[in-house]
Chains A and B, each alone.
Chain A
Amino acid sequence: MEFILVQTLSGLASAASLFLVASGLSIIFGVTRIVNFAHGAFYMLGAYMAFTLTDRWTGAFGFWGAIIAASLVVAVLGALMEMVLLRRIYQAPELFQLLATFGVTLMVQDIVVLIWGPEDLMGPRAPGFTGAVTVFGRMVPSYDFLLIALGPVVLGLLWLLFHYTRWGVLVRAATQDRDMVAALGVNQKWLFTSVFALGVFLAALGGALQIPRTTVSHSMDLAIIVEVFVVVVIGGLGSVLGAFVAAIIVSELNAFGILIFPKISLILVFLVMAVVLVIRPWGLFGKPESAPRPAAGLSIRPWRPFTPAERIAVAVGVFGAAVLPFFLGNYALTVGAEILVFVLFAASLHFLMTVGGLASFGHAAYFGLGAYGAAFLVKFTGAPMEAALLVGPLMGLAGAVVFGWFCVRLSGVYFAMLTLAFAQIAWSIAFQWVDVTGGDNGMLGIWPSTWASSPRGFFWLALGIAVVGVGILRVLVFSPFGYGLRASRDSALRSEAIGIDRRSMQWVAFIVAGTFAGISGATFAFLKGSVFPDFLGIPTSVDGLVMVLLGGIETVSGAVVGAVVYKALAIWLMSQTDLSKLVLGAIIVLLVVAFPKGIVGFLEDLRYRLRPPRANGAGPKTAGYGIAKVEAAE
C-alpha cells in the first residue's frame, strides 16, 4: 500500500516536466499547425543552459533565477528559429515542417556536444529542496513535492493567461480560425512568434527543472519527444488540459509499468495509447481535425509509365551497376551494397508516402524488424542465409500488420507521431530485452552463405534484391491497387463514394511498404553480419525520409536517386567530419526551404521549362511545394 503511494508520487513528479513540454507543443500546434519536432531539443537546451547558469549563480535566488533565465534564453532561440525557418514553411505540407524541425534537432545534438561535451552532467540540488520527506516510512525527495505542485500551478497560470489577457484570447481565436483573426487586423506573424516563444519557454522550463533530479545528457531530446508525442496523441493535440491529464496517465503508467513488466515498461503505455486511439482517434480532449490538409505527394504532373528512352536508361543503369564489381575494390563494393539496401528501403517508404499519402516517421521499425527476424532465424534455428532472407522479413510484415492497423486510423501529423512512437517502442524492446536481442550489444555473427560472402558476391545479391524489389513496387503503383490508393489519397470522400475502402487500402499499402522495408533490413543484417537496436532508431527512419525528399517526393524515381546520393554523401561525410549531424541537419533544413521538390523534381522542372509541353497547361507550378494554395473559404 505504502509502496503504491510512493510510486504514485514519483509518477506525478515525472508528469510535471512532461506536461510542460507537451503543453508547449500543443499550444504551438494549436495556432501554427506545426508539430515542432525540435521541442525535445529545446527541452534539452533548457537543461544544459540551466546547468551552466546554476553553476555560476548560487544560493536560492541564483538557482531559481538561473532556471528562469535559462528558459528565457532558450525561448529567444526558439523565437529566432520561428522567424528564420518556420516563417518560410507555414504553407508547406506537414511532412516538410516535421522534417525541417527534425533537422534542427539533429543540429542541436551536435552543438550541445560541442559546447558541453559528450559526458553526462550532474546539476546541483535545488536550494531548500535537498532533503527527503518520509511518507509511510519511505523516503520521497522533497523536490518531487515541489514538482507535483508545479503542474497544476502552471496549468492554472496558462488558463489565466488564455482567458484574462488579450494576447491569450487572440491565441484561442487563432487556434480556431487564424485567417479570421488576420481579417480583424491582427498581425499573425508576431502572434505566431510569441506563441512559439511561449511554447519553447515551457519546454525549456521542463528541461531546466529536471537538473536536480537527473543527469543532463545529449540524448534527452529524443527520449522526451517520443513520450511527448505519446502524451499529445492520448490527450489530443492543441489541448492544454489534455496534455495535463495525459502526462499524468503516461507517467503513472511508466511508474507502475516498471513493476509489472520490468524489462519492457513501455508496453503498458503502448496498450493504453492503442485503446485511446481506437475509441477517440483525436485524443481524449482533442477535436477531430475538420479539414485535413493536402498530403505531400499530390503530384502536379500525373504519374506516367516510363518512356522507351527512360526504359533504356534504366536498363543501362542496372547493367552498369551489375558490372561495377569488375572495376571497384572491396570497400567500394561494400559501400555500394549498403547503398543498394537503402535504395529498397527508401523506395518502400516512397511507395507509402506518394501512393498512400502517408508520411511515416517510423519506417525503420519494419527495416529493423526484418533484420531481427533474419537474425533470430540464424541464431535460434541455425537457418541458412537464403531461408533467413525469405522468412526474416515476415517479422517486418507482422509488425506492419499490427502497427499499421492503428496508424491508418489517423492521418497527417497524428499518423506521423504514431508511427514514430511505434518505432520507438520497437526500438526499446530491442534495447531492453537483453536475453533475446542482446540489447545494446546487438546480435553478432549473422554471416551470409559462402557464395555471397565476398563483397562482390554480396553486391550482386543486394543489386538483385533492390532491382526486383523496386520493380515490384513500381508494378504495384501502376496496378489497379495503386490507382485505387492514389484515388483515396487525393480525395477521401470521393473515393469512398466510388466504393474504395480507404482505410483497408492504406493498411495494405502500409503492410506492403513494411514488408519491403523488412526485406532490405534482412539484407542489411547479412551485409553487416550483425543487428543492433539502432536499425530501428529514429535516425534510420529519418534517413529514409530525407532520401525520398532529396530525390523528390513528387517523382517516381526520386527514392532511388535520393537513396544513392544521400547514402553516398552520408558515408563520405562520416569519414570527413565529426559533426555529421550538424551538417546533415543543415542539409535537411536547406532542402526543405530551398529545394522542396528534390533532385529529380528539380531536373524535371528544368526539363519542362526548357521544353514546355503543349498540353492543357499542366506544366510545373513555380509554387514549390506541389500543393495548390487552397483558398480559405468559398
Chain B
Amino acid sequence: MKLEVSSLNSHYGPAHILFDVGFEIGAGEVVALLGRNGAGKSTTFRSVVGLVSQRSGQIRFDGTDISRLPTYDIVRRGLGYVPEDRRIFTELTVEENFTVGRQPPREGVATWTPERIYDLFPNLGEMRRRPGGQMSGGEQQMLTIGRTLMGNPSLVLLDEPSEGLAPKIVEQMADAILTMKREGLSVVISEQNLHFAKLISDRAYIIEKGRMRFSGTMAELEANPEVRDAYLAV
C-alpha cells in the first residue's frame, strides 16, 4: 500500500472533527474521497500532511510512520498536497511559484519540469511571467497543481480540484489527473458530488460527519444508490 491511514482522530481546539477515520491507497490508484460540505474531507487531507496539530492515529506512507513528522518532511518524502483554497503566491510569477515547489528528483517517480507542466496545462505556458494574483480561478487551480507536481510526488492529495470551475476546465482537470495516473502517481481527490469523481476514479470512500461510511469501487457505488442518496448531495 502507498498510503495507509487508520484510527485517525482530529480536533480543532475543543471540537472533535474526525472519528477513527481509516483508508488505504494503492500505488498508481486514483481514489475519490466523497462527502458533503463540512463532512471532514479537507480535515482528513490536512491531518495526513500534518497541518492539523491535534491529531492521533496511524498514518503510513510507503511503509513509514509519518504521523509525527513535520509537514515539510512529509511532503519531502513524496506526498504532495494541493489545498482546496489553492493558496498560490499571488506576488510570484507562474515560474516562481514552480520554483517554490521544486524538489530534487526522486528515484522511481516521474520527474516534473516547468516544461512538462506546460504540456499538461498549456494555458500556463502562455503566462509564465504573470503574477499569480492576476490569473483566473481555473488558471490558479492549474498553477497550484503544477506547483505541487514540481516536488515530484509519488502520491498527491487534491482537495476539490473541480470546485467552482467551468465545465471545459473541469474536463481539462480530469485529463490532467489521468495523465498523472499514467505517469504512475497515486492520486486522492476530495469531491462533493459524483460527476467529476466518476470520470477518473477507480475507487471511492464516503465520509460523513467525520466518520467513514462507505468504501468500494465506483461500480459498487453505482449499484448502491441509497448510499449515494444518504451521504452525498445529489
A residues contacting B by CB (< 8 A) are 166, 169-170, 172-173, 176-177, 179-188, 617, 628-629, 631-634
Whether B99 contacts A169 by the Cβ 8 Å rule is: yes
Name the B residues within 8 Å of A170 (CB-CB). 99-100
Interface size class, chain B:
20 to 34
Q: Tell which of A172, A173, A185 touches B72, judged by Cβ atoms closer than 8 Å.
A: A185
Q: How far is the CA of A617 from the CA of B16 in the complex (A)?
A: 14
Name the B residues within 8 Å of A188 (CB-CB). 72
Name the A residues within 8 Å of B49 (CB-CB). 183
Residue in A closest to B98 when the chains form the complex, CB atoms: A169
B residues contacting A by CB (< 8 A) are 12-14, 42, 46, 49, 51-53, 70-73, 75-76, 81, 83, 85, 87, 89-92, 96-97, 99-103, 147-148, 151
Whether B100 contacts A173 by the Cβ 8 Å rule is: yes
Whether B52 contacts A631 by the Cβ 8 Å rule is: yes
Q: Tell which of B42, B53, B81, B99 touches A183, judged by Cβ atoms closer than 8 Å.
A: B81
Min CB distance, B13 to chain A, in Å?
Answer: 5
Min CB distance, A380 to chain B, in Å?
Answer: 56
Q: How many A-B residue pairs have C-beta atoms within 8 angstroms? Tell me.
A: 72
List the 10 shortest-distance A-B pairs measured between CB atoms, nearest first: A185-B75, A185-B76, A180-B87, A173-B100, A173-B89, A184-B101, A169-B99, A182-B71, A182-B72, A187-B72
Name the A residues within 8 Å of B92 (CB-CB). 169, 172-173, 176
Whether A169 contacts B100 by the Cβ 8 Å rule is: yes
Min CB distance, B214 to chain A, in Å?
Answer: 25
Residue in B closest to A630 when the chains form the complex, CB atoms: B13
Name the B residues within 8 Å of A631 (CB-CB). 12, 51-53
Name the A residues within 8 Å of B73 (CB-CB). 187
Whether B71 contacts A183 by the Cβ 8 Å rule is: yes
Min CB distance, B226 to chain A, in Å?
Answer: 31
Name the B residues within 8 Å of A184 (CB-CB). 75, 100-101, 147-148, 151
Among A166, A184, A187, A631, the one with the most B-chain Cβ atoms within 10 Å of its Cβ is A184
Min CB distance, B94 to chain A, in Å?
Answer: 12
Q: How far is the CA of A187 from the CA of B76 in the complex (A)?
A: 9
Name the A residues within 8 Å of B13 (CB-CB). 628
Residue in B closest to A185 when the chains form the complex, CB atoms: B75
Whether B87 contacts A166 by the Cβ 8 Å rule is: no
Whether B83 contacts A629 by the Cβ 8 Å rule is: no
Whether A183 contacts B147 by the Cβ 8 Å rule is: no
Are A186 and B87 CB-contacts (below 8 A) given A166-B102, A169-B96?
no
Q: How far is the CA of A633 from the CA of B85 in the complex (A)?
A: 9
Name the A residues within 8 Å of B99 (CB-CB). 166, 169-170
Q: How far is the CA of A51 from the CA of B12 in the complex (A)?
A: 54
Q: How far is the CA of A470 from the CA of B178 in the complex (A)?
A: 70
Whether A186 contacts B83 by the Cβ 8 Å rule is: no
Among A176, A179, A185, the one with the most B-chain Cβ atoms within 10 Å of its Cβ is A185
Whether B52 contacts A180 by the Cβ 8 Å rule is: no
Are A179 and B51 CB-contacts (below 8 A) given A169-B92, A628-B13?
yes
Given contacts A179-B71, A184-B147, 13 further A-B contacts (CB under 8 A): A169-B99, A170-B100, A173-B96, A176-B92, A183-B71, A184-B101, A185-B151, A617-B14, A631-B51, A631-B52, A632-B51, A633-B46, A634-B42
Enumerate 19 A-B pairs (CB-CB under 8 Å) in ascending A order: A172-B89, A172-B96, A173-B92, A173-B96, A176-B92, A177-B89, A179-B51, A179-B71, A183-B72, A183-B81, A183-B83, A184-B147, A184-B151, A185-B76, A185-B101, A628-B13, A629-B53, A631-B52, A634-B42
